[in-house]
């Protein structure tokens, strides 16, 4: 995934691998007896607040978009335990981090509110009139 020294997120953003922290722990799940003896679960940690990979407006955007994924100190934590090997879980965690960052970098278009069409206004008024007539017909004092 990307260059050896960096995790490539986009053409303009690459995270130096020196900023990424990996922790290996024992994982449950498939693997038989092997699962009890090997540390295949990977935690990938990256600190958005102290990174040198992004700055300025991009950093502000990422912090705003990923506020729910960060802890109080700015660490983003990705956990992968779905695969049987540490290497595969490490690659999966990196892919998930890249996808999360790419999603946060997308600038979404601002929604332009639309006005109801003439026909939809007419249909709405006709339905209200019909409903009012039905209720009026139910009254005991109807003449």
pLDDT one-digit tens code per residue, 28-70: 666 666 666 777 788 999 888 888 888 888 888 888 888 888 8
pLDDT at 4: 67
Q: Largest Cα–Cα distance of the chain, in whole Å?
A: 87
In a domain, 80, yes or no: yes
Structure token digits, residue 17? 């691998």
Q: Is residue 25 domain-resident?
A: yes
30-36 long-range contacts (CB < 8 A, ≥24 apart) are: 30/84, 31/84, 34/84
Q: Is residue 125 part of a domain?
A: no
Assign 142 a pLDDT band (cuts: 50, 70, 90): low
3-state secondary structure 69-123: CECCCCEEEEEECCCCCHHHHHHHHHHHHHHHHHHHHCCCCCCCCCCCCHHHHHH
> Which residue range is the domain that position 80 belongs to?
6-105
Q: Is residue 59, in this structure, part of any structural domain at all?
A: yes
Q: Which two tokens stand for residue 1?
A: 């995934």
Quick one: tokens of 53?
A: 């990979």
DSSP code, position 20: E
For helices 56-65 and 86-105, angle between their N-to-C axes, nearest 10 degrees: 110
Give the pLDDT of residue 50.
86
Using DSSP bridges, classify how beta strands 20-25 and 13-16 pair: parallel, antiparallel or unpaired. Answer: unpaired
Residue 10 has pLDDT above 80, yes or no: yes
In a domain, residue 143? The reply is no
* Structural domain count, the chain: 1
Q: Establish if 19 belongs to a structural domain.
A: yes
The CATH number that applies at residue 50 is: 3.30.160.20
The DSSP symbol for 79 reads: E
Answer whether 52's CB lies under 8 Å from 42's CB: no
In a domain? residue 37:
yes
27 vs 83: which has the higher pLDDT: 83
Average pLDDT of the chain is: 86
Joined tokens for residue 99: 């996808």
pTM: 0.67
Q: Is residue 1 part of a domain?
A: no
pLDDT at 3: 47
């Amino acid at each position: 995934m990307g260059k050896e020294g960096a995790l490539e997120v986009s053409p303009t953003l690459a995270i130096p691998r020196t900023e990424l922290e990996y922790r290996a722990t024992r994982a449950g799940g498939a693997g038989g007896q092997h699962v009890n003896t090997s540390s295949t679960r990977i935690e990938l940690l990256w600190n958005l607040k102290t990174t040198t990979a992004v700055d300025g407006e991009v950093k502000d955007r990422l912090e705003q978009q990923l506020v729910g994924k960060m802890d109080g100190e700015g660490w983003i934590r990705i956990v992968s335990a779905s695969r049987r090997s540490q290497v595969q879980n490490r690659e999966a965690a990196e892919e998930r981090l890249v996808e999360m960052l790419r999603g946060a970098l997308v600038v979404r278009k601002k929604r332009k509110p639309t006005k109801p069409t003439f026909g939809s206004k007419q249909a709405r008024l006709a339905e209200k009139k019909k409903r009012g007539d039905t209720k009026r017909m139910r009254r005991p004092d109807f003449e």
